[in-house]
Chains A and B, each alone.
Chain A
Amino acid sequence: GAGVSQSPSNKVTEKGKDVELRCDPISGHTALYWYRQSLGQGLEFLIYFQGNSAPDKSGLPSDRFSAERTGGSVSTLTIQRTQQEDSAVYLCASSSLGRSTDTQYFGPGTRLTVL
Chain B
Amino acid sequence: AQSVSQHNHHVILSEAASLELGCNYSYGGTVNLFWYVQYPGQHLQLLLKYFSGDPLVKGIKGFEAEFIKSKFSFNLRKPSVQWSDTAEYFCAVNAGNQGGKLIFGQGTELSVKP
- Seen from chain A, the residues whose Cβ lies within 8 Å of a Cβ on chain B are 3-4, 31, 33, 35, 42-45, 48, 50, 56, 58-59, 91, 93, 95, 98-109
> Which residue of B43, B44, B45, B99 contacts A100 across the interface (Cβ within 8 Å)?
B99
Residues of B within 8 A of A (CB-CB), count: 24
- Seen from chain B, the residues whose Cβ lies within 8 Å of a Cβ on chain A are 32, 36, 43-46, 49, 51, 90, 92, 94-107
> Which residue of A4, A48, A100, A109 contacts B96 across the interface (Cβ within 8 Å)?
A100
CB distance from B38 to the nearest CB of A (A): 9
Q: What would 25 A/B residue contacts be, using CB atoms closer than 8 Å?
A: A4-B43, A31-B99, A31-B100, A33-B100, A35-B102, A42-B90, A43-B107, A45-B104, A48-B99, A50-B100, A56-B98, A58-B101, A59-B101, A91-B44, A99-B100, A100-B51, A100-B95, A100-B96, A100-B99, A101-B49, A102-B100, A103-B46, A104-B100, A106-B45, A108-B43
A53 to B46, CA, bound (A): 26
CB distance from A5 to the nearest CB of B (A): 11
